[in-house]
Amino acid sequence: MSLALAAAVNCGPDSLGTSRTLTLRREGAAWGAAQHAALPMLAPKEVVLTFDDGPRPESTPLVLKALADHCVQASFYMNGEPLKQHAGLARQVRDAGHTVGMHGYRHEHFPQLPAAAQLADLDAMVAVHRAVLGEEPAAYRFPFLEQTPTLLKALADRAITVMSIDASAEDWLPEQTPQMLADRLLGQLAKSGGGIVLLHDAQDQTARALPLLLRALKTEGYRVVHLRWQ
């Protein structure tokens, strides 16, 4: 029996689960109410879980385990450098059924870089995504959510979807306990009504907190939507 099947067998009514898969067209759209519009295909209390800055061997496997324990499918926005360095782990994420998007080859402040350097970073990011995962990338999240006109146009020209966010646990803040992260995430979701959730699989505190976060989402009646692209 495969690991995925074994996990599915163990997913009972107490697990969060994945309620449905939403498949988007490859087009230069941009979603997430922090900077754009909320995804209009999501119903109230539907969430898309996203994890940035990996893959990282110390924490990403723990995130994968917590998601598998709850039969949850998520999206991982990977940086090019760790994607290249930990290619096997990146393919493990993809092979577990999760969606892999791009998050910049280097985690740069693009508004501070010349246009040529921004475009070179995108080219390097696309190249390593293709090389490691053998697929054409469909989605991109800006590092620090710092957009630039140069990259927005380049992404639209390539029909790559820009993914901003609707809610987060602010898990980049130092020394956050699982309960602090759960309380903050639920507080932000209560305001947004659901949507795209930003987390970081490269953060140890997030990996440790994820079982509690998933239980809290279940208790509060949120439903997970798995985002894919055609």
Closer residue to Zn ion in complex, CB, 89/202: 202
Per CB under 5 A, residues contacting Zn ion are 52-53, 143
- Closest contact distance (angstroms) between CB of 202 and Zn ion is 8
Closer residue to Zn ion in complex, CB, 80/143: 143
Place of tokens 């994968």: 64
CA distance 157 to 106: 21
Closer residue to Zn ion in complex, CB, 70/103: 103
Whose CA is closest to 75, among 115, 46, 107, 48? 48
- Closest contact distance (angstroms) between CB of 141 and Zn ion is 7
- Closest contact distance (angstroms) between CB of 23 and Zn ion is 25
Closer residue to Zn ion in complex, CB, 8/124: 124
Q: Is 20 helix (H, G, I), strand (E, B) or coil?
A: strand
Cα–Cα distances in angstroms (integers) from residue 207 to residues 2, 132, 164, 201, 212, in the given order: 23, 24, 21, 6, 10
CA distance 51 to 56: 11
Provide Rg for the chain, Cα atoms: 17
CA distance 42 to 40: 5
- Closest contact distance (angstroms) between CB of 6 and Zn ion is 32
Closer residue to Zn ion in complex, CB, 192/203: 203
Whose CA is closest to 227, among 36, 67, 73, 71? 73
- Closest contact distance (angstroms) between CB of 220 and Zn ion is 26
